[in-house]
C-alpha cells in the first residue's frame, strides 16, 4: 500500500479547509443532493463529498457508506488532491498502490474509485467529490466531464462558506479571513516545529495616487499590487489585505532571512511591473518583517502588531 504524499501547500490547504467552517458539521441537503445525483448517474453504491483533514478524510456528504470518516493514510482522496485531474483507479487489485489497502481487502471492498479535486476560492484543494464501486469498471471522457460538472457545483457550495473571508477588490484574504487562516497555519507549523515569519506591507504614497488620479485608479493599483504578491510569493504563503493600503504575508517554514529574501524578490518583481505597466505612478511599499517567537507572540495579533510597528519605523525613516 502507498500512503498519500503531503501536498506542497499543506499548511495553506489545511488552513483554508478549516476556515471554511464545514468540518464536523451536520449533513445538509444541498450537498446530499449532489452525492445522490452522482450515485444515480454513475450507478455506483457509494458517492462522497470528502474533505481531507490533517489526519483523516471526513465526509460532508456520504451516500452508501456507514462511517463519516476514515484515516487519511489509507485514503484514496489523499492521492486525488495531489493532482489537478480526476484521479481514477479502474481496478484496485491491479494497482500496487491500493491492492492491499484496508479499504480494498476489507469493508467497503473498493475495486473502483474516481475522485475529482474540490477547490476553495483561493485554489487550495480541500477534498474531492468521489464515486466508489465494489466492481472494476471503465470511466470514459463523458463520465469524467459529468463528475467534473458535479464537482463544480460542490465547489460553489463550499466557496459560499469562504466568501465572507475574502477581500472583494483583490481576491486575497481580508482581515477576518487572515485571522482565521493564520491561526491554523501557526498551529500547523508549531506541531511540525517549523519557523514562521510575517511581512507587514504598506503601500507608499497611496493617498497621492487617489488624490491625483481618482479612486478608480487607486482600486486598480491595489488590485495590481495584490496580483504581484500572488505572482511573487509561494502558494503556501498566506496573503491578505487588512484594509486600505495595508497588506500582510504569513510565510510558513521561513525564518526571518528567508522571509526577507522573499520580500526582496517581490520588490524586484514590482519594479519590473512598474517599468512594463506604464502607469503614471509607481507602486512601492514599506515593510516590517518579524519571525515568530512563541515566548513573545502569544497570538496572531501580537505578531501583526510587531510587524506594523517595524513597518512604520521604516516608512518614517523614508520620510
The CA distance from 152 to 101, in Å, is 29
Q: What domains lie within the chain, and their CATH numbers?
A: 10-163 (3.30.450.40), 175-318 (3.30.70.270)
Answer for the pair 60, 49: CB distance below 8 angstroms, yes or no. Answer: yes
The tens digit of pLDDT for each residue in 215-225 reads: 999 999 999 99
Secondary structure of 166-197 as H, E, C letters = ECCCCCCECHHHHHHHHHHHHHHHHHCCCCEE
For helices 215-232 and 256-277, what crossing angle results, to 10°? 130
Percentage above 90 pLDDT, the chain: 69
Q: Which DSSP letter does residue 279 get?
A: -
- pLDDT score, position 161: 66
pTM, two decimal places:
0.62
The tens digit of pLDDT for each residue in 136-183 reads: 999 999 999 999 999 999 999 887 766 777 888 998 889 988 887 787
Amino acid at each position: 500500500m502507498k500512503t498519500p504524499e503531503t501536498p506542497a501547500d499543506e499548511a495553506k490547504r489545511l488552513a483554508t479547509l478549516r476556515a471554511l467552517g464545514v468540518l464536523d458539521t451536520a449533513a445538509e441537503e444541498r450537498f446530499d443532493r449532489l452525492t445522490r445525483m452522482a450515485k444515480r448517474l454513475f450507478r455506483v453504491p457509494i458517492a462522497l463529498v470528502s474533505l481531507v483533514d490533517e489526519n483523516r478524510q471526513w465526509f460532508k456528504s456520504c451516500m452508501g457508506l456507514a462511517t463519516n470518516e476514515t484515516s487519511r493514510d489509507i485514503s484514496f482522496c489523499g492521492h486525488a488532491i495531489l493532482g489537478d485531474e480526476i484521479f481514477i483507479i479502474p481496478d484496485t487489485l491491479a494497482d500496487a498502490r491500493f491492492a492491499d489497502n484496508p479499504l480494498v481487502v476489507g469493508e467497503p471492498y473498493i475495486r473502483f474509485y474516481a475522485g475529482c479535486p474540490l477547490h476553495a476560492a483561493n485554489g487550495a484543494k480541500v477534498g474531492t467529490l468521489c464515486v466508489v464501486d465494489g466492481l472494476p469498471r471503465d470511466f470514459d471522457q463523458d463520465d469524467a466531464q459529468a463528475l467534473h460538472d458535479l464537482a463544480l457545483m460542490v465547489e460553489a457550495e463550499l466557496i459560499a462558506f469562504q466568501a465572507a473571508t475574502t477581500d472583494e477588490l483583490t481576491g486575497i484574504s481580508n482581515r477576518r479571513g487572515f485571522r482565521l487562516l493564520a491561526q491554523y497555519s501557526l498551529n500547523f507549523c508549531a506541531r511540525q516545529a517549523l519557523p514562521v515569519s510575517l511581512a507587514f506591507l504598506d503601500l507608499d504614497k497611496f493617498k497621492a495616487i487617489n488624490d491625483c488620479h481618482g479612486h478608480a485608479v487607486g482600486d486598480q493599483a491595489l488590485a495590481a499590487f495584490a496580483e504581484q504578491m500572488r505572482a511573487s510569493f509561494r502558494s503556501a504563503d498566506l496573503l491578505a489585505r487588512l484594509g486600505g493600503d495595508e497588506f500582510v504575508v504569513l510565510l510558513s517554514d521561513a525564518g526571518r532571512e528567508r522571509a526577507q529574501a522573499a520580500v526582496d524578490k517581490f520588490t524586484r518583481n514590482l519594479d519590473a511591473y512598474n517599468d512594463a505597466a506604464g502607469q503614471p505612478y509607481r507602486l512601492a511599499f514599506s515593510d516590517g518583517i518579524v519571525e515568530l517567537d512563541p515566548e513573545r507572540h502569544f497570538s496572531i495579533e501580537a505578531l501583526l502588531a510587531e510587524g506594523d510597528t517595524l513597518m512604520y519605523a521604516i516608512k518614517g525613516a523614508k520620510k
